[in-house]
Amino acid sequence: MKIVIVGGVAAGMSAAAKIKRTNPDAEVVVYEKGGFLSYGACGLPYFVSGVNDDWRKLIARTREEFEKSGIRTFLRHEVVKVVPDRKQIMVKDLEQGSLFLDAYDKLMIAVGASPIVPDVPGIRLPGVHLLKSMEDGLDLKEAAASPAVREVVIIGGGAIGLEAAEAMVHLGKRVRVVELADRLLPPYDPEITEPVSAELHRHGVSLHLAEQLTEIAGAGRVERVRTDRGEYPADLVILATGVRPATGFLAGSGIRMAPNGAIYIDREMRTNIPDVYAAGDCAVVYHRVMEEDTYIPLGTTANKMGRLAGGNMLGRRDKFVGTLGSAAIKVFDLELGRTGLSEADAKKLAIDYGTAVVEAMDHPAYYPNPTPIRFKLIYDKETKTLLGAQGVGAKGVVLRINLFAVAIHNRMSARELGMVDLCYAPPFSGVWDAVHIACNAVK
């Protein structure tokens, strides 16, 4: 059996590895339009900042290792068409410029998402960068190393924009963040993101909220960024305005897609076309609390979905347990984490919910450096079942959000989690941990 995988990073290579572990005789071919396989894009901001100075450390498994296990990999090869009736794909060799056909028994689409690039004058000027692929990271690191780059403007105040802001401050740049919405990090509720602006200001980042990019200007390279409210000097611009599924090449293939281009799949990663699977940022994902499909592009889910798709292409029938949209971010000296529904999600779904916002210390005052953690819990008003949790603080936040993730995954109530036997010793927590205290505030 020949399995062709399109896209060779998280979902694609998780599937390829799973297939080879399960059946070393399966023929696996991977087409990847970029120049790298199986890397952790999530580590790019820390490579750009110099916290990690070696891009090789981002590679989970090398091409040689994949090839050694019998997986055939083609880099800089873009799949431009899928013809399910003939079980064929058309591939463009990006170096030679030539096109050829290949056939599959099973096909997996794992093409991820592409950055959304605002359509404004000057957007293609040299000095305007993205931070999505390994190539973007290498380019940005090289550009930012120039001492002539002093003023950096980041467009977008989501997770990637803020991680890029931190990286640029780390490199000694003067940094501005321009964000269209009136607040940062939209997957989190305002009570949790509220300390983030102060943290950014404390590190010298200028914030321009509720401002829309209108133009990037300069003679031959970027010099200024214009918005609907001002004009700012810029030696370098980083676009971090979100992503959309990279599925344009599937138009006309008959593969069903959501209005945003995400491929509809079932919980076994099957598309509507026999023998065609999809996983990762190019596809919808089943949400365990919402009990419906949604679009949350994250590395965590891409890896799990990819592995499942790999097994299922070999005949298994494993179902994805569902995402909780669990995510975390470090913004200088703050950590934020979230899992399950936000209040905005609960409102949209018309759930009868309650919320509790609670501050508790990470450990008792009689051990040095106690720091406050703010949690927000979203719960079912009647049963007190936990639906979502978010937290912000200097330390100990994200691992505690993971506790909430396990509880929400298992549909526990706040009362149950509020009595779970968690570890206690003064350097780590109080006898009533911050998690207990937050849960026990749910009345």
Locate tokens 């995400």: which residue? 262
Task: Give the residue with the Cβ less far from ligand FAD, 128 or 360.
Answer: 128
Select the residue interacting with ligand FAD from 112, 187, 354, 396 (CB under 6 A).
Answer: 112
Please tell me whether residue 78 binds ligand FAD under the rule CB under 6 A: yes
Please tell me whether residue 9 binds ligand FAD under the rule CB under 6 A: yes
d(CA 58, CA 65): 15
Q: How far is the CB of 314 from ligand FAD (least distance, A)?
A: 19
Identify which range of 109-117, 173-181, 339-347, 424-432 contacts ligand FAD by CB under 6 A.
Answer: 109-117
Distance set, CA 182 to CA 164, 337, 374, 420 (Å): 19, 20, 21, 38
Please tell me whether residue 33 binds ligand FAD under the rule CB under 6 A: yes
Select the residue interacting with ligand FAD from 10, 29, 308, 412 (CB under 6 A).
Answer: 10
Q: How far is the CB of 1 from ligand FAD (least distance, A)?
A: 21
Identify which range of 8-16, 211-219, 224-232, 395-403 contacts ligand FAD by CB under 6 A.
Answer: 8-16
Q: What angle do CA 265, 156, 6 make, to 5 degrees?
A: 30
Select the residue interacting with ligand FAD from 6, 234, 263, 290 (CB under 6 A).
Answer: 6
Select the residue interacting with ligand FAD from 82, 108, 160, 442 (CB under 6 A).
Answer: 160
Please tell me whether residue 128 binds ligand FAD under the rule CB under 6 A: no
Tell which positions 38-57 bind ligand FAD, by CB under 6 A.
41-42, 44-45
Select the residue interacting with ligand FAD from 3, 16, 34, 122 (CB under 6 A).
Answer: 34
Identify which range of 140-148, 168-176, 280-288, 385-393 contacts ligand FAD by CB under 6 A.
Answer: 280-288
Task: Give the residue with the Cβ less far from ligand FAD, 167 or 417.
Answer: 167
d(CA 240, CA 129): 9
Select the residue interacting with ligand FAD from 122, 187, 245, 280 (CB under 6 A).
Answer: 280
Please tell me whether residue 158 binds ligand FAD under the rule CB under 6 A: no
Identify which range of 3-11, 121-129, 149-157, 398-406 contacts ligand FAD by CB under 6 A.
Answer: 3-11
Select the residue interacting with ligand FAD from 7, 322, 354, 388 (CB under 6 A).
Answer: 7
Q: How far is the CB of 95 from ligand FAD (least distance, A)?
A: 14
423 is catalytic: no
Q: How far is the CB of 206 from ligand FAD (least distance, A)?
A: 22
* HEC profile of the chain: CEEEEECCCHHHHHHHHHHHHHCCCCEEEEEECCCCCCECHHHHHHHHHCCCCCHHHHECCCHHHHHHCCEEEEECEEEEEEEHHHCEEEEEECCCCEEEEEECCEEEECCCEEECCCCCCCCCCCCEEECCCHHHHHHHHHHHCCCCCCEEEEECCCHHHHHHHHHHHHCCCEEEEEECCCCCCCCCCHHHHHHHHHHHHHCCCEEEECCCEEEEECCCCCCEEEECCCEEECCEEEECCCEEECCHHHCCCCCCECCCCCECCCCCCECCCCCEEECCCCECEEECCCCEEECCCCHHHHHHHHHHHHHHHCCCCCCCCCECCCEEEEECCEEEEEEECCHHHHHHCCCCEEEEEEEEECCCCCCCCCCEEEEEEEEECCCCEEEEEEEEECCCCHHHHHHHHHHHHCCCEHHHHCCCCCCCCCCCCCCCCHHHHHHHCCC
Please tell me whether residue 335 binds ligand FAD under the rule CB under 6 A: no
**Residue 43 backbone class (left: φ over 0; alpha: ψ -120 to 50; beta: rest):** alpha
CB 77 within 8 Å of CB 94? yes
Q: How far is the CB of 55 from ligand FAD (least distance, A)?
A: 13
Identify which range of 15-23, 33-41, 201-209, 395-403 contacts ligand FAD by CB under 6 A.
Answer: 33-41
Select the residue interacting with ligand FAD from 132, 176, 376, 436 (CB under 6 A).
Answer: 132
Count of positions on this chain that bind ligand FAD (CB under 6 A): 34
Q: 226-265 mask for ligand FAD (x: CB under 6 A)? A: --------------------x--x----------------
Residues in the site for ligand FAD, rule: CB under 6 A? 6-7, 9-12, 31-34, 41-42, 44-45, 78-79, 110-113, 131-132, 160, 246, 249, 280-282, 297-300, 302, 327
Residues that are catalytic: 42
